[in-house]
Structure 1
């Protein structure tokens, strides 16, 4: 019975008036004497002298303690229901008694706080750091009475037979309760953590707690805990309850009233014993397991301020603003579609009823296809007006014979016959014809649009169905994973799992950063709008084919919409997966945000190439296999690429080889083979073209593009090998974007060189998209967070909201980049509209 009572006396304190009377009366001395005698900390029974002293606030007690005596300091203070007053206990030990430390036990209402001095805190690999100066704040149990006097006792004991000097000071904490929008500065260290109380004012349901410091190190932890005892305020237990995050200079946590039934919470700040959690250098490893390491001065000056978060009106305004921006594009598109339909109707009437005018009367002479790419002495080039007039002229001297509707109809019926691409390609005469046609110096679109229209339509529709299948199987596990991430964050309270901009992260329901998710709505809405625009054009074109329209059958760039459908789907998936990524952005799910960016860049390049090379464009299976390889390397680069020389060498070699293979494919229009005889053929070409007769390249324009492309790609490969950028995913995306921009610039230049023109709508789209892309990239490079650093280092880049107090710089990047991508798609869709009435044998390939 006595042993049980001894255990209770060490782990529980009396409560109520009766218990206080026993502890304060003479019986307390007898009871303490008996318990210490029966079950002391050592195995040897010994008698201790118990000394009780009246404690006083703000008075320093200089005393000595041995194994033969125990000192009890009795304190009392008045607790008010309307005012919370903090109490801080500070202890200094003069001697280095590490083998027999002094034990301090603070017994108070509903709680017991105990700690030893020197205080041993452990770091990484169980390294030990002793602290002789310890300060702890007592938790404050709530009281129902208007005013109440509470007692607490500080027991001091040790097992050391030699006397150990110590200093004890108990003081009241000024400004223990934080006020709204009022900054409070304080100092903390690993052995002297600090925490403060905040009470939600009336009408405020959500607040954001910001802790700042001018000092990067030492690393610290801020925690939000419910009002309860004990308070977990040491490095080894601060993560037990509540929400917490590591910090260097900045820390911020959004707190909602619904999560704290008492309408109040503690803000706890703890300085860690080591800095590796914040990206700091690791200390040396101790030579002996029991070796103690001098922690040095790890005090840190911080300030804390609690501010009200946004209210419901700001949420509504943010959502309406987001919807309003993208719905305006729907309205603008509808208006422009009405105007365009009227214009095209008039244009079709003029083409179907041409004026009875000869070339001499028009003053324009159709140009020969063999003038493509050359500049005559008089500086004349082929103009789009000449191409258009050649399509409407009935003069047979220029090689154009107007076909009757009957012959066009028969041609249409033949093209719709049941024929497969393999049947078409396996004919020997067709292979010979391919070799002859594709080696012409100047090719026209009709030379590379010889395959059956139905076969090509099916071939390019596979792009859409494949990406739709990929999207379903990719998105489902992604959604499941990010829901799990968010659940883990909400349950554990670990704010280091996700890399948000914590200064502008507005929660909604279970989501921690709803604004970052909402801003991705533009990708989905504009992707859907682009699909509707493409569908409209597809329906119009199919109707024209059904009625045997001469323009649809024989003029313009061949209309294949499968790649456009794939691009629109990819844009929508980019929005969905970017939203999933921003549910909990971190190191392990970065590919959710970048995978479809690679796909969009690849599909745009394929579409540009398809416009002039419909017969020889890559199949969907080959294209997606290459994109899968790119994504695979993206993952490898993030996991293994940081500082790995071997990886960068291998990647650079593969990058350069892929560039050379693609250059060969583009230069020879697909008429080459990668087999055992390729080296022999290369040597033969070098001998005949460079040594024997030193002739220049046959396809000058293509050579210029490929030389520039190789220079750019080799430079990027060299940059990656030398600099080894940490953000490999962005580096890989930069390679794709640079190649896309280079090919697009080449396409525009060659289009103008060929005498074609850019109509008003695509020209406006090009200029508008260029401006929007510039603004978008400005906001993208603001870098509000990064998962390539530690969570604490990432928070150093956090900034406040800049738009409607709801959206940050990265949200604006989402807005602008979705608009810019939509504009880029419109450019690809409309840039060759000027050729819709031009015969295909007058449209040049480049």
Structure 2
């Protein structure tokens, strides 16, 4: 219009019209100002504990003036309670503004609080506690004003009441009960008494729902006490029945803090169901009655002396194992020396120590080598039962060692090694020949195998092969642990900065902070894995040194008797135990569902290494290489990660995993049954059909290797059952489910090994039997404490806190810490069982030790 006027009337007419528009706007503004000047402002001097009924419109505003005396030695709360009594008040809300000396609090009534998906909940009854600014004098009179106004032309009737809260300050170890709702939050003040540097605030309720939030905030204004702002400052956590936060004096410069309790508008944060979805985003929903009765109590936390006692207790337990091991080593060394000491001597015969006969020299013995050899050979079971006879008859022990030394002298004259006479040619020496595969087939397909049949490779080659296990797991541990440590430090920093204690699933009733760590006791209790793993490495090192010295002096027992000694897997097991302690400690820095894989990764490693060690004992030549073993374990950890991310309620994932689990079980069964003498190629189906036809249809013949078949049938039953359970139940904790599969297979193979060992006429020595019984008892107690379930990340943080419990040992350790203590001891004992269970075969030649 203006452009059209410019073209039609010229510049003068345009200026005239613009001035006319400006004049109209000025008149409108003047009328509004005049109307505002006509608005009535009424100020009333009001009193506490008096209910004021009034009506407010856009034409009037009411100011209520209050004054009260504030004493430094006594803190009183002031609470504002407002009710809107008019119908349809949502369309004409009232604004209440409370002006204080150092703070301003404003809120509208009805109070509109938003929930999930921006759903709106109106509350016509509102109660708020006023912030209490500190006073510098002993007694001071403070004034505050309550302004009531609205922009609605309709009159809205309301009630206003200001009252004192006499029990505003919480006292140590005294329970206080109160009621809260979304529109009527509550908060109270606590002052640290002298001598208390740390306190634990506990809030309890008999009601599971409605969901609530407990917050700890510094003494400052404003106090964030609504559902939509309670997370802005301080520390907070959601709760159903229980909440607990440990508070340290150093975090609050005023030596005091507020305990704020807010009831949420919805229960989704605490695991409650969705009520319903609104038809429109701006639809108002009736929240109903969401009041909740709660109790709050503040208790002093443990002192620094308890921290010291807890650390000493932890160190004392595991250092005692070092002392016990040292004493046992001394006793065993003395018994070993006594066993080979010559008690009865013949004239002219010098007694020979087992540590010296490798360098035996002629000492004037009058016995001939033929006579000594005939004397020893007279025992029909020489090499096995004869050893018992030698132990009972010291004189024969001396003759036995003299005969060995004379025989070695004869071997040095003839230039022929006994090892070469009893052992086959090293496989590496003829791997290039065409008949190597046929040789393997002949040996490994025998119906009854002995250890000598599967211990044909060069000991130096095998030793290096198994040492790779140790170096690989050490490398894996370093590269795995460094990012884990970085991640959990970040988690802990986020918890400390944001104050959101729903991020980590602690046992808050027994979580003792130290520095930036929220639960130091759960981290300290993992020290046992590290210390006992190191102790096991020292024990293995001691055995390794003794065995190496025996090989250096050409000890026949070390060369040709007993289970072949390869310590690489033992070193890997000890390292895995230490890494388990480190990663478990990292998990407990901030336990949650994304971190749980850190706690279980090396548990898979330990279970796999134990199975490999059991298999290696009787199959040293055909055991899996370190690269193959760790590749399989990496696949297990990969599926563990997939299960954590995608496994919860995802049926497609569970079907794929169950199929792969069953296929892997069948392939491994085939590998174990045929000792690796089969091929997975295009002709595998044809060969399977041929075997079924010849062995099951044409003639019904039983399996050639019955013992192996029994083990594999049991293994398949167990694994197929576990696969079916996972497919039907789809457990939320996939990592624990995967760990259960590994442990079940380990226990099955270990039981099979023990049964077959006893069935083969072998015996279990006293030390190994003590380790087995001790480990079984400790595992029983450990599992009892493990299943106490103090927290669970499978539920919401609020539901998890319902399982929290107080400390049970020294007011410092909880049930899960006891699990850490006992499980580390049990794992150490299990490793000792694997290390000592075949010590009875150290004097038995390998061609008399059965393979199973």
Global fold match (TM > 0.5) = yes
Q: Deviations over 1:664-690 (max 9, x none)?
A: 111111111111111111111111111
2:436 corresponds, among 426, 430, 437, to: 430
- Write the mapping of 1:124-523 to structure 2, written as runs, cut at 5 A: 124-347=116-339, 365=381, 404=408, 407=411, 411=417, 425-523=431-529
Higher-Rg structure is: 2
1:216 is displaced (CA, Å) by 1.0
Aligned to 2:69: 78
Deviation at 1:712? Answer: 0.8
| Deviation at residue 404 of structure 1 after TM alignment | 3.6
Report if aligned partners of 1:387, 1:842 keep a CA contact under 8 Å in 2.
no
**Which whole-Å CA distance do the structure 2 matches of 1:445 and 1:356 have between them?**
26
C-alpha spacing 1:424/1:79, structure 2 compared with 1 (3 Å): farther
For the 8 Å contact 2:387–2:843, the answer to whether it is kept is no
Are the aligned partners of 1:424 and 1:451 in contact in 2 as well (CA < 8 Å)? no
* 2:118 aligned with 1:112: no
Q: Do the aligned partners of residues 405 and 614 (structure 1) sit closer, same or farther apart at CA in structure 2, a change above 3 Å counting?
A: farther
Q: Report the Cα offset of residue 38 of structure 1.
A: 10
C-alpha distance in 1 between matches for 2:242 and 2:418: 69
**Residues 42 and 116 from structure 1, CA distance in 2 versus in 1: closer, same or farther, beyond 3 angstroms?**
farther
> Aligned with 1:211: secondary structure?
strand
Rate the CA distance shift 1:412–1:261 in 2: closer, same or farther, 3 A: farther
Q: Secondary structure at the match of 1:487?
A: helix
Q: SS where residue 796 of structure 1 aligns? A: helix
Distance 1:333 1:412, change over 3 A: farther
Tell me the CA shift for residue 136 of structure 1. Answer: 0.2
CA contact (8 A) 1:776 1:816 kept: yes
CA distance in 2, matches of 1:405, 1:735: 55
Larger displacement relative to structure 2 (570-579 or 641-650):
641-650
* Alpha carbons of structure 1 residues 94 and 405: separation in structure 2 relative to 1, 3 Å: farther
Deviations 1:65-101 (A, max 9, x none): 1111111111111110011000110101012222220
Aligned residues: 787
Matched, 1:621 2:636: no
Quote the residue 1:25 is aligned against.
none
How big is each residue's C-alpha offset from its partner over 1:462-500, in whole Å with a ceiling of 9 and x where there is no partner?
Answer: 000000000110111111111111111111111111110
8 Å contact 1:388–1:838 — kept in the other structure?
A: no
Cα gap change, 1:481 to 1:746, in 2 (>3 Å): same
- Consecutive unaligned residues of structure 1, counting only runs of 5 or more, are 1-36, 369-381, 394-399
Q: Does 1:52 align with 2:43?
A: yes
Q: Does 1:94 align with 2:85?
A: yes
Q: Secondary structure at the match of 1:794?
A: helix
* Aligned counterparts, 1:633-644, within 5 A: 633-644=639-650
Paired residue for 2:774, among 748, 768, 771? Answer: 768
Question: What is the DSSP-based 3-state SS (H/G/I as helix, E as strand, rest coil) of the residue aligned with 2:232?
Answer: coil
Query: Residue 803 of structure 2: SS of its match in structure 1?
Result: coil
**Does the 8 A contact of 1:756 with 1:834 survive in 2?**
yes
Contact 1:367 1:387 in 2 (8 A): no
Superposition deviation, residue 644 in structure 1: 1.3
Q: What is the CA-CA distance between 1:787 and the residue it aligns to?
A: 1.3
Write out aligned runs for 1:696-715 (5 A): 696-715=702-721
Q: Contact (CA 8 Å) 1:224, 1:243: kept in 2 or not?
A: yes
Offset of residue 412 of structure 1: 9.1
CA RMSD of aligned residues (A): 2.8
Q: Find the aligned partners of 1:43 and 1:129 in 2 and give their Cα distance.
A: 37
1:702–1:78 distance in 2 versus 1, CA, 3 Å: same
Is the 1:187–1:300 contact (alpha carbons within 8 Å) kept by the matching residues of 2? yes
Structure 1 pair 601/248, CA: closer, same or farther in 2 (3 Å)? same
Please give the alpha-carbon distance, in whole angstroms, between the structure 2 residues aligned to 1:790 and 1:154. Answer: 41
Distance across 2 between alignment mates of 1:385 and 1:429: 42
Aligned to 1:258, the other structure's residue is in SS state helix
Report deviation, 1:386.
9.7
Q: Assess if the C-alpha contact under 8 Å between 1:226 and 1:260 holds in 2.
A: yes
* Mapped contact 1:387–1:838 kept (Cα < 8 A): no
SS of 1:98's equivalent in the other structure is helix
CA displacement at 1:778 relative to structure 2? 0.5
- Tell me the distance in 2 between the aligned counterparts of 1:466 and 1:425: 26
Match of 1:750 in 2: 756
**TM superposition shift of 1:280:** 1.0
Tell whether the 8 Å contact from 1:206 to 1:310 is kept in structure 2 after alignment.
Answer: yes
Distance 1:817 1:423 in 2: 46
Change (3 A) 1:650 1:412: farther
Q: Does the alignment pair 1:786 with 2:792? A: yes
* 3-state SS of paired residue (1:207): strand
Cα pair distance change 1:664/1:142, threshold 3 Å: same
Q: 1:598 aligns with which of 580, 604, 625?
A: 604
For 1:22, the equivalent position in structure 2 comes to none
Deviations 1:166-215 (A, max 9, x none): 01111111310000000001111110000000000000000000001111
C-alpha contact (below 8 Å) 2:236/2:500 kept by paired residues:
yes
Aligned partner of 1:6 in structure 2 is: none
User: Hey, what's the Cα distance between the residues in 2 that align with 1:622 and 1:358?
Assistant: 50
Which residue number in structure 1 is paired with residue 6 of structure 2?
Answer: none
Contact kept, 8 Å, 1:383 with 1:754, in 2: the verdict is no
Q: Distance in 2 between matches of 1:678 and 1:263?
A: 77
User: Could you tell me which residue of structure 2 aligns to residue 9 of structure 1?
Assistant: none
Q: Please, which moves more after superposition, 288-297 or 772-781?
A: 288-297
User: What is the distance in 2 between the residues matched to 1:555 and 1:811?
Assistant: 44
Which of 570, 580, 591 is 1:574 aligned to? 580
Q: Per-residue displacement from partner, 1:218-274 (whole Å, max 9, x unpaired)?
A: 111100000011000001111111111111111000000000000000000001111
Deviation at 1:503, TM superposition (A): 0.3
| Structure 2 counterpart of 1:656 | 662
Q: Quick one: distance in 2 between partners of 1:762 and 1:601?
A: 20
Distance verdict in 2 for CA 1:426–1:298, change over 3 Å: farther
Q: Alignment partner for residue 66 of structure 1, among 57, 69, 92?
A: 57
Offset, 1:719: 1.0
- Pick the aligned partner of 1:830 from 830, 836, 839: 836
* TM-score, scaled to structure 1: 0.89
> Which residue does 2:728 correspond to in 1?
722
Distance 1:410 1:604, change over 3 A: farther
**Contact 1:105/1:112 (CA < 8 Å) preserved in 2?**
yes
CA distance in 2, matches of 1:421, 1:412: 18
User: Which position in structure 2 is the counterpart of 1:17?
Assistant: none
The 10-residue stretch of structure 1 (275-284 or 455-464) with the greater mean CA deviation from structure 2: 275-284
Contact 1:420 1:455 in 2 (8 A): no
- Asked if the contact 2:92/2:156 (under 8 Å) is kept, the reply is no
How far, CA to CA, are the matches of 2:70 and 2:450 in structure 1? 92
Deviations 1:787-839 (A, max 9, x none): 11111111111100000000000000000000000000000000000011111
CA, structure 1 residues 538+73, in 2 after alignment: closer, same or farther (shift >3 Å)? Answer: same
Structure 1 residues 203, 433: CA separation in 2 closer, same or farther (over 3 Å shift)? same
Give unmatched runs, 5+ long, in structure 2: 1-27, 343-352, 358-370, 398-403
Quote the residue 1:694 is aligned against: 700
Aligned match of 1:542? 548
More moved, 295-304 vs 38-47: 38-47
Distance 1:172 1:420, change over 3 A: farther
Greater CA deviation, 283-292 or 801-810?
Answer: 283-292
Compute the displacement of 1:343 (Å): 2.2
